[in-house]
Amino acid sequence: MSTTTLKSPVSAQAQPRKHTAHKRRTSPGWFLVSPSVMLLLLWMIVPLGMTIYFSLIRYNLLYPGENDFVGLENFEYFVTDTGFTPGMTNTLLLVGSVLLISVVLGVLISALLEATNFWGRGIVRVLLISPFFIMPTVSALIWKNLIFHPVSGILAAVWKFFGAQPVDWLAHFPLLSIILIVSWQWLPFAILILMTAMQSLDQEQKEAARLDGAGPLAIFWHLTLPHLARPIAVVVMIETIFLLSVFAEIFTTTSGGPGFASTNLAYLIYNQALLQFDVGMASAGGLIAVVIANIAAIILVRMIGKNLTQQQ
Amino acid sequence: MATLKIRNLRKGFDAIEIIKGVDLDINDREFVVFVGPSGCGKSTLLRLIAGLEDVTGGTIELDGRDITEVSPAKRDLAMVFQTYALYPHMTVRKNMSFALDLAGIAKSEVEKKVDEAARILELGHLLERKPRQLSGGQRQRVAIGRAIVRNPKIFLFDEPLSNLDAALRVQMRLELARLHQELQATMIYVTHDQVEAMTLATKVVVLNGGRIEQVGSPLDLYHHPANLFVAGFLGTPKMGFLKAKVIHTSAQATEIELASGPRLRLPRDGRSLVVGHEVTLGIRPEHLVIDPQGQLPVITDVTERLGSDTYCHMNTPSDEPLTVRVPGDFFCAYGERLKLGVDVSHCHLFDEHGQAVSHALQQAA
Amino acid sequence: MLTLKQSRRLQSVVLGALAWTVALILFFPIFWMILTSFKTEIDAFATPPQLIFHPTLENYLHIQERSDYFHFAWNSVAIAFGSTIIGMLLAVPAAYSMAFHETRLTKQTLLWMLSTKMLPAVGVLMPIYLMTKSLGLLDTKLSLIIIYTLINLPIMVWMVYTYFKDIPKDILEAARLDGATTVQEIVRVLLPISKGGLASTVLLSLILCWNEAFWSLNLTSSSAAPLTALIASYSSPEGLFWAKLSAVSTLACAPILIFGWISQKQLVRGLSFGAVK
């Protein structure tokens, strides 16, 4: 046995070190994260706190100085406003339909692209995702003037070609038109995410399934779709966040009309705040939007937030 | 000169203790190999020496200077990582000179050192390449070169060969042994591969569950394992273990009865054992022979024929596995009943706590 | 009976044609916008819409005097780059420490950052509007730079974090053993290795800032108004200048469209908070 080894004699020179011994290097961790955390914390707490405060007082910019505490009066006014019910319905319809359209078509189109290698696949990819990069005001105006216009729009020409009477889309189907515009913007997002996710599907799994006798549909149903569960959840979550605040598209096309036919919550609040200067009521509406967003988000974050970090 | 003294070293992550008090001395120019199963703490021990992990308790001394709280850069150690950890955006030359550049050493000096290391490792023609243009073996050499240029007091290797294919691994093993001779450097090497431990080390440290099981030269450990763990860990195929009971003890001999019935008389000083207690008999494959007159009845299992040797796997009637090495070609049919002869002077005996009972003859000498 | 090879070939042709059709339909509005931008106003309004016409550069040539295009474009550029630079300066150190000096709170911090994205903009419209007003920041680039930085910071931290997570820790440890300080470790090893990821994070931030249209419409009127606001001003019913609108829109969207095409694959990571790579 080697003479150089000392088997744990409690030698005098090896004083037991305190477990709380000072760290060799102070970890740069918190020092580097804290600016971001502090800023985001301020960004979250201060405006939200102010919104809550405003929502509880009388606060109209047209009548300065009258800032009495009014309890839940603002909420009551906001909820009983003629615009509230259509605003809520339209918000839900808008978010729901765009989610449905973008996820269903997104899965189908990305599956189509991944199914086979065909000529010009790279170009097709680029064409498909392009609408996502068009700024909201541009896409709204392009659709309004070049597609939906009852005289010179493309759809009017198509209708005429088949001998039908052209439709004034934005006047007669305002919400549907907005749903179409917004879907056109967000479908490419779903395609982009889902297509990338599909590429990470293990090819050997597919080949094994094919040897096991699975046809393309069985492979899609049993392998591809389960593999896409997480990316789909991501798409739903992120689109929900953005769709709840759809604003520019309505602002530049219908201005929420006719009547409240295409007013969503975001536009209603804008209307209260910057057109009628009723800060208190707008804040109450804002808080309702926050609550809705959080109900949707908490569920989704619970569902996939865990996955997000687990995979790291 | 480079000597390393580790005293009562401890490391815990949260509540889990990974290193549970290690004492170890490493002398100048030794090639020390830390070996053990995965999760035994061997890599953590190396990283504690490197300074990449904060120590929870205990001290590390390098040449008499306490480096426990010294930053990794100032410890004068160089490490070769399992993944090589080459800087992908730098050429081979920049990879090797990075540490010297950071230290502000003169350009001409740096160039000389890099060229010298490249000569030793035969990397001269690759100096302007990027790591991704190199093969696994070449990357490995660059990683070693990066360590050599720094002329460190101790080289640390963290499973450096585990990412290479089998043939390359054998070749690099030889090169490392040669490098140790050529550089006359102190090296610490972590591996889970006992062949690397046996062939490279001047001193093997067997770790298990965050503790040192045994320290010694490779053959010392092979022939005189201190306990069941070391006995079972070193040697391929593994040492066979048979449960037994102590029947009779004296200064010259220990008599035991195996679970499967037969009695054996071993030339051991058995006075530390208690009659009636359980013991374990350990027999290496080379210390068993197939012999119709043998004491041990067995049933054959599968046979592995390697050409030079044949390993016959057997089971005792009490269903304990044993392996027999037979030189040259040999064949046992599956399920055959045979008898084995035991070389009692080379057997190992372990008490009920798994500690080895020392060889009587050696004790007497 | 078709051979296996022939049937595969047929399948590829049919599916390919289908994919092209879908792609052309989805791209059509953009194509039509670009086409219209080269028409005269009369051609642009013609019924039925014309595919063949005499192209003119008229709409582009007088874009500056008509709408002061460069004023708005400069605002967009300044706001997008200003916010992106500040965002990166905040995100890189945060992502570095979370990726390489993980603590028990790191995961929670990351998820919490994500949750700040759940705050809908309308929920804080009033306080932000009043604050910017009382600070005299209404209709300034600074206010949009600050707000965009805060909006995009969680995405940037996540994106950089996932790129850093892909870098083996060993490489940074090797640098530490080689004597690099924390700053040298970041500047000389980490940043060069992850420059691709950082570039796509920058691109994503630029794209998001460039296209943002809630705060820009609500907080600016003229002097700090970016391109999104300029385009919105064309929505007034009295302006039936579609060729001109198309030209301005094409110019405003072109850089972002090209950025998007270049970095489409890398953007996925940031847009999906690292869940899809």
pLDDT digits (tens, 9 = 90+) for B13-25: 877 889 999 999 9
Phi then psi for residue B75, to 5 deg, are -90, -15
Q: Is B210 left (phi over 0), alpha (psi -120 to 50) or beta?
A: left
Q: Is A71 left (phi over 0), alpha (psi -120 to 50) or beta?
A: left
**Do the domain assignments include residue A12?**
no
Return d(Cα B283, Cα C120) in angstroms, integer: 73
CB A183 within 8 A of CB A98: yes
The domain that holds A113 is classified in CATH as: 1.10.3720.10
Taking CB atoms and an 8 Å limit, are B85 and C174 in contact across chains? yes
Taking CB atoms and an 8 Å limit, are B215 and A8 in contact across chains? no
Phi then psi for residue B153, to 5 deg, are -70, -40
Of A7, A15, A19, the CB nearest to B23: A7
| pLDDT score of A19 more than 60 | no
The pLDDT, as a whole number, for residue A45 is 87
Of B83, B99, B146, the CB nearest to C170: B83
The pLDDT, as a whole number, for residue A301 is 65
Q: Is C239 helix (H, G, I), strand (E, B) or coil?
A: coil
Cβ within 8 Å of residue C246, ≥6 positions away? A142, A146, C33, C34, C36, C37, C39, C44, C59
Contacting chains of C (3 CB pairs or more, <8 Å) are: A, B
| pLDDT score of A207 more than 90 | no
Q: Rank A166-170, A214-218, B228-232, C120-124 by mean pLDDT and report only the highest.
A: B228-232
In this complex, is the C-beta atom of C69 within 8 Å of any C-beta atom belonging to chain A? no
In this complex, is the C-beta atom of C19 within 8 Å of any C-beta atom belonging to chain A? yes
Write the DSSP string, A203-245. HHHHHHHHHTT--HHHHIIIIIHHHHHHHHHHHHHHHHHHHTT
Contacts with A126 from chain C: Cβ below 8 Å: 261, 264
| Domains contained in chain A, number | 1
The amino acid that residue C239 corresponds to is G
Query: How far does chain A reach from its first CA to its final CA, in angstroms?
Result: 46
Within a 10 A sphere around the Cβ of B362, how many other Cβ atoms?
9
pTM: 0.81
Q: In terms of residue numbers, what domain contains A290? A: 57-310
Write the DSSP string, A69-134. B-TTHHHHHHHHSTTHHHHHHHHHHHHHHHHHHHHHHHHHHHHHHHH---TTHHHHHHHHHGGGGS
Residue that wins the pLDDT comparison between A152 and B249: B249
**% residues pLDDT > 70 (chain B):** 98
Taking CB atoms and an 8 Å limit, are C228 and A244 in contact across chains? no
**Do the domain assignments include residue A262?**
yes
Residue that wins the pLDDT comparison between B222 and B358: B222
**Do the domain assignments include residue A242?**
yes
Hey, of C163, C170, C177, which one would you mutate to test binding to chain B, going by the most B CBs within 10 A of its CB? C177
Q: Which domains are delineated in chain C?
A: 72-240+255-271 (1.10.3720.10)
pLDDT band (50, 70, 90) for residue A312: very low
The pLDDT, as a whole number, for residue B364 is 41
**Do the domain assignments include residue A47?**
no
With CA atoms as reference, report the closest residue to C49 among A151, A161, A150, A152. Answer: A152
| pLDDT score of B146 more than 60 | yes
Sign of CA dihedral B59, B60, B65, B66: negative
pLDDT band (50, 70, 90) for residue A296: confident
Q: Rank A33-42, A100-109, A291-300, B329-338 by mean pLDDT and report only the highest.
A: A100-109
pLDDT band (50, 70, 90) for residue B34: very high
Taking CB atoms and an 8 Å limit, are A274 and C257 in contact across chains? no
Phi then psi for residue B8, to 5 deg, are 45, 45
The pLDDT, as a whole number, for residue A4 is 37
Cβ within 8 Å of residue A176, ≥6 positions away? A169
Q: Is A304 helix (H, G, I), strand (E, B) or coil?
A: helix
Instruction: Report strand pairing: B203-208 vs B254-258.
Output: unpaired
Contacting chains of B (3 CB pairs or more, <8 Å) are: A, C
Q: Which domains are delineated in chain B?
A: 4-224 (3.40.50.300), 237-364 (2.40.50.140)
Taking CB atoms and an 8 Å limit, are B79 and C171 in contact across chains? no
Q: Output the six-digit token pair for A114.
A: 């991944």
Q: Output the six-digit token pair for C36.
A: 């219209």
Of A36, A142, A192, the CB nearest to C94: A36
The average pLDDT across C242-271 equals: 85
Q: What is the pLDDT of residues B86-111, one digit of tens each?
A: 999 999 999 999 999 988 889 999 99
Q: Is A7 helix (H, G, I), strand (E, B) or coil?
A: coil
**Do the domain assignments include residue A23?**
no
Q: What is the pLDDT of residues C91-106, one digit of tens each?
A: 999 999 888 888 878 8
Return d(Cα B188, Cα C131) in angstroms, integer: 63
**Do the domain assignments include residue A261?**
yes
With CA atoms as reference, report the closest residue to B323 among B258, B213, B232. Answer: B232
The pLDDT, as a whole number, for residue A109 is 92
CA distances, C189 to each of A48, B21, B76, B358, C91 (Å): 41, 35, 21, 54, 17
Taking CB atoms and an 8 Å limit, are A16 and B56 in contact across chains? no
The pLDDT, as a whole number, for residue B360 is 54
With CA atoms as reference, report the closest residue to B187 among B18, B16, B22, B33. Answer: B33
CB-hemisphere CA count at 13 Å for C122?
Answer: 32
Of B56, B212, B220, the CB nearest to A1: B220
Number of H helices, E strands in chain A: 15, 0
- Which secondary structure element, helix H or strand E, spans residue C78, and what is its range? helix C69-100
Q: What is the pLDDT of residues C31-90, one digit of tens each?
A: 999 988 888 877 777 777 777 787 888 888 877 877 788 899 999 999 999 999 999 999
Contacts with B21 from chain A: Cβ below 8 Å: 8
Taking CB atoms and an 8 Å limit, are B56 and A19 in contact across chains? yes
Please state which of the ranges C143-147, C222-226, C233-237 shows the lowest mean pLDDT. C233-237
The average pLDDT across C108-130 equals: 82
- Residue B14's Cα: distance from chain center in Å? 28
Residue that wins the pLDDT comparison between C125 and C96: C96
Q: What is the pLDDT of residues B40-67, one digit of tens each?
A: 999 999 999 999 888 999 999 999 899 9
Residue that wins the pLDDT comparison between C136 and C51: C136
Please state which of the ranges A54-63, A302-311, C195-204, C212-221 shows the lowest mean pLDDT. A302-311
Residue A60 is given by DSSP the state B
CB B175 within 8 A of CB B157: no
SS3 letters across chain B: CCCEEEEEEEEEECCEEEEEEEEEEECCCCEEEEECCCCCCHHHHHHHHHCCCCCCEEEEEECCEECCCCCHHHHCEEEECCCCCCCCCCCHHHHHHHHHHHCCCCHHHHHHHHHHHHHHHCCHHHCCCCHHHCCHHHHHHHHHHHHHHCCCCEEEEECCCCCCCHHHHHHHHHHHHHHHHHHCCEEEEEECCHHHHHHHCCEEEEEECCEEEEEECHHHHHHCCCEHHHHHHCCCCCCEEEEEEEEEECCCCEEEEECCCCEEEECECCCCCCCCCEEEEEECHHHEEECCCCCEEEEEEEEEECCCEEEEEEECCCCCEEEEEEECCCCCCCCCEEEEEECHHHCEEECCCCEEECEHHHHHC
Greatest pairwise CA separation for chain C in angstroms: 78
pLDDT band (50, 70, 90) for residue A13: very low
